[in-house]
């Protein structure tokens, strides 16, 4: 049995959640506003208090999520983070809070293209002090393609310049960084889904200029009325949808999809059973020359037989 490598003290410390850095604010007395006790904080104090959560995310799962331990294990194994990710529950059971410790880890987690954990899809949000459980922020990670962009523009410094009017540059994908494909650059941006965005712009050089198209691969729709992703004000008919209704809708869609899949599998097995029955009858006909129930023979191969919806005469 191979010997297990002993974990260092640093490794052990890294896996244990550490206390957040203390923020010291001056003591103050409460104010009375309309007979109610109220504590007031300045904008600068709010920014200071949120500093330890600068690289934090909220995952909103679109159906019943897995346990926190399962989510922690998935993140530790699959996300490839350098530091520790502190995963905790939120007041909404479908939501999970993830506190990261570096911009590199944040960018990697925020821009993941596979937005699912063990088969359960989620929407990811950058946490800010203004985050509420009832509404979704329109600020989302979006993968953008710049088709036909020459490879000499693939440097991150240039891509940041070109995409600045669209949103905040997060990263380019591996094929762009390594130029393993040169049919266009692909980048992830932090964008406001509630706004209209450029679909093209011009790039000028001393020798020439050209028009550059912009393709938004993952830009979601956003409803300014419901403050939720996945639909807009037109498709919602002006009726406000709550977050609970949004989650329930996604649960129903998932269940219907599973039901359709199950029904399809049943139909497939039924067709296979019918095919096997036809084959058995044809073998009998070939050997004995007759059968009580006539069989509709088809001059097809075994592979074709599996794919066709073949129904014997006796079953029609």
Whether residue 11 lies inside any domain: the answer is no
Token pair for residue 9? 């003290």
The CATH code of the domain that includes 86 is 3.30.70.330
pLDDT for residue 261 is more than 50: no
Q: Is 60 exposed, middle or buried (0-12, 13-18, 19+ CB in 10 A)?
A: buried
Q: pTM here?
A: 0.66
Q: Tell me which residue has tokens 């497939």.
A: 268
Asked if residue 145 and residue 222 are part of one domain, the reply reads yes
Mean pLDDT, to the nearest integer, of 261-289? 52
Instruction: Give dist(CA 50, CA 55) in Å, integer.
Output: 10
259 domain residue, yes or no: yes
Q: Is residue 263 situated within a structural domain?
A: yes
Q: Count other Cβ atoms within 10 Å, centred on residue 276.
A: 11
Residue 246's nearest CA partner among 221, 219, 226 is: 226
Residue 72 domain flag:
yes
pLDDT single digits (tens) 141-162: 999 999 999 999 999 999 999 9
For the stretch 194-235, pLDDT in tens is 888 999 999 998 989 999 999 999 888 878 778 777 665 555
Single residue among 112, 131, 150 that ends a domain in this structure: 131
Same domain, 144 and 127: no
Residues in Cβ contact with 121 at an 8 Å cutoff, skipping those fewer than 6 apart: 61, 62, 63, 115
Per the CB < 8 A criterion, the answer to whether 106 and 55 are in contact is: yes
Judge whether 39 lies within some domain: no
Do 144 and 235 share a structural domain? yes
What total of structural domains would you count in the chain?
3
In a domain, 229, yes or no: yes
240, 258, 291: which is the final residue of a domain? 240
* Predicted pLDDT at 135: 80
Please report whether residue 203 resides in a domain. Answer: yes
- Residue 165 has a pLDDT of 95
The answer to whether the CB of 176 falls within 8 A of the CB of 112 is: no
Considering the domain boundaries, does residue 6 fall inside one?
no
Residue 127 sits in which domain range? 50-131
Q: What is the pLDDT of residues 5-60, one digit of tens each?
A: 555 555 544 567 788 889 899 999 999 999 999 999 999 999 999 999 999 999 99
Confidence of residue 303 (pLDDT cuts 50, 70, 90): very low
């Amino acid at each position: 049995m191979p010997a297990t490598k002993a974990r260092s003290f640093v490794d052990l410390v890294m896996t244990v959640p550490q206390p957040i850095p203390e923020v010291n604010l001056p003591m103050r007395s409460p104010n009375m506003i309309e007979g109610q006790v109220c504590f007031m904080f300045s904008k600068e104090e709010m920014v200071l208090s949120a500093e330890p959560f600068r690289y934090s995310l909220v995952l909103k799962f679109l159906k019943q999520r897995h346990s926190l331990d399962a989510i922690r294990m998935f993140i530790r194994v699959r996300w490839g983070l350098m530091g520790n990710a502190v995963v905790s529950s939120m007041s909404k059971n479908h939501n999970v809070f993830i506190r990261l410790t570096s911009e590199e880890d944040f960018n990697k987690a925020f821009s993941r293209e596979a937005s699912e954990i063990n088969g359960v899809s989620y929407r990811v949000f950058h946490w800010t002090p203004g985050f509420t459980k009832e509404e979704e922020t329109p600020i989302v990670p979006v993968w953008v393609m710049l088709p036909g962009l020459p490879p000499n523009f693939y440097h991150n410094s240039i891509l940041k310049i070109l995409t600045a009017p669209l949103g905040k540059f997060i990263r380019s994908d591996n094929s762009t960084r390594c130029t393993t494909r040169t049919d266009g650059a692909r980048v992830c941006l932090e964008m406001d889904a509630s706004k209209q965005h450029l679909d093209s712009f011009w790039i000028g050089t001393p020798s020439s200029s050209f028009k550059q198209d912009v393709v938004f691969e993952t830009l979601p729709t956003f409803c300014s009325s419901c403050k939720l992703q996945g639909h807009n004000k037109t498709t919602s008919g002006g009726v406000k949808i709550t977050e609970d209704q949004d989650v329930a809708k996604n649960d129903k869609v998932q269940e219907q999809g599973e039901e359709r899949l199950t029904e399809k599998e049943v139909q497939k097995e039924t067709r296979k059973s019918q095919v096997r029955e036809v084959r058995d009858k044809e073998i009998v006909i070939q050997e004995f020359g007759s059968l009580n129930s006539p069989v509709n023979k088809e001059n097809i191969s075994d592979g074709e037989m599996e794919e066709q919806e073949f129904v014997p005469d006796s079953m029609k």
